[in-house]
Amino acid sequence: MDQNQNTQLEKPALYDIILKKEWSYYAGSALIVIFAMALCMFGSTWGVSGALGMWGNMFLSLFGIDTAATFGTDTSTYNFWNNQASLTDIGLLLGALIACLLAAQWKIRNIKHYKQALAAIVGGLLMGVGAKMAGGCNIGGLFSQLPQFSLAAWLFLLFVFLGATVGGKLLKYFMPPVSNQRPKRKRLTAEQKLRNKRIQIIAAVVIIALLLIVSFVVAPNYPKAPLFLVIGIGLGYSMQRSRFCFTAAYRDPGLTGETKLTRAVIVAFALATIFFFGRHASQFGADLSGLTAENMPGNVINLQMCIGSFIFGIGAVLAGGCASGTFVRMGEGYVQLWICFPFFCLGNAFAGAITKATAGTWFTAGSKVYLPQLFGGLVPALLIQLLALLGLWILAWWWENKKRAQFN
Three-state SS across 282-293? HHHCCCCCCCCC
Eight-state DSSP code of residue 12: P
Confidence band for 241, pLDDT divided at 50, 70 and 90: very high
Cβ neighbours around 199 below 10 Å, total: 13
Q: Are 126 and 314 in contact (CB under 8 A)?
A: yes
pLDDT at 181: 65
Residue 340: pLDDT over 90: yes
pLDDT at 16: 80
**CA atoms 148, 152, 155, 161: torsion sign:** negative
394 to 69, 267, 273, 294: CA distances (angstroms):
49, 11, 18, 36
pLDDT at 184: 67
pLDDT, one tens digit per residue, over 105-164 is 999 999 989 999 999 999 999 999 999 999 999 999 999 999 999 999 999 999 999 999
Least Cα distance to 176 among 111, 118, 109, 115 occurs for 115
Q: Are 141 and 299 in contact (CB under 8 A)?
A: yes
Confidence band for 271, pLDDT divided at 50, 70 and 90: very high
Instruction: State the chain's mean pLDDT as an integer.
Output: 92
% residues pLDDT > 90 (the chain)? 83
Give mean pLDDT, residues 311-331.
95
Residues 6 or more apart whose Cβ sits within 8 Å of residue 128: 49, 52, 53, 56, 315, 343, 344, 345, 346, 347, 348, 349, 350, 351
pLDDT, one tens digit per residue, over 358-377 is 998 999 999 999 999 999 99
Confidence band for 193, pLDDT divided at 50, 70 and 90: confident
Residue 74: pLDDT over 80: yes
pLDDT at 282: 94
